[in-house]
Amino acid sequence: MEVKRLPALSDNYIFVLYDPKQNIAATVDPAEAKPVLNCLQELNAELVAIFNTHHHFDHVGGNRELKKHYPQAVVYGSADDEGRIPHQEMFLKEGDTVTFGGRSGEVLFVPGHTSGHIAYYFPPAEGEAVGELFAGDTMFVGGCGRLFEGTPRQMVDSLSKLKQLPDQTRLWCAHEYTLKNYKFAISIEPNNPVVQRRYQEVQQARREGKATVPSLLEQEKETNPFLRWDDKNLQTIAQTQDPVQTFGRLRGMKDQF
């Protein structure tokens, strides 16, 4: 299974999964249809599935147009998003599986950014070392989504699920927010050498016009402040030893950054 990263709108990423053996494709969070249609044309592949992580327009905006061109494509989304995702046909819950190109993906219920948010995790294929996580807006490289419909407790629980996945998992998140995220991270931990190094890497990548997505979960666990609510330094910054309060206060600081 190959993963194609397509830029869309101002800072979105759409992902196209491609199985060259069967010449089929699936897309994750199509913000708009045109980039996906162009990619499918280049691959000469048939779209068979649309995997949505949540209902926001910049993740489902391409559903209707894609269904016009590929009516056989099945639209997947959270059971909790019923009525909010255009053309949704499959209503997924925690523990369900999806299949594409001979690969099985696990459905993780990760509310917080929205009340019905899900993520898709494809464990490594046989003979490979790296898995694929499509996290939508729950986890970003160096950050996490705003709490539009959820609570800090929900988001900590959701991020904990993602944090428990193997280190060698690629994080495919739906926005190029990385530089902003590490500007915040370095502002609260200016003396953290690991965060400093990561910030410099991200700055260099963006200066060269390179995408910062995907990243490895191993790196996120080391440098993403929103996965480190047990870190004593961050607890001191948040002025609490409670993990949920630490996360919530850091998220509030980021909202005002």
Task: Name the strand (E) or helix (H) holding 176.
Answer: none
Active-site position among 55, 81, 117, 175: 175
3-state secondary structure of 5: strand
83: amino acid identity, one letter: G
Active-site position among 56, 80, 81, 117: 56
Alpha-carbon gap, residue 146 to 252, rounded angstroms:
9
Active-site position among 29, 80, 81, 137: 137
Alpha-carbon gap, residue 11 to 23, rounded angstroms:
29
Active-site position among 54, 55, 80, 117: 54
Active-site position among 80, 81, 113, 117: 113
SS percent in the chain: helix, strand, coil, step 5: 35, 25, 40
Mark whether 87 is an active-site residue: no
Mark whether 113 is an active-site residue: yes
Q: Residue 74 in contact with residue 49, Cβ under 8 Å?
A: yes
Terminal alpha carbon distance of the chain: 38
Mark whether 175 is an active-site residue: yes
Mark whether 137 is an active-site residue: yes
Active-site position among 29, 55, 59, 117: 59
Structure tokens at 44: 């000469």
Active-site position among 29, 58, 80, 81: 58
Mark whether 157 is an active-site residue: no
Q: Which residues are catalytic?
A: 54, 56, 58-59, 113, 137, 175
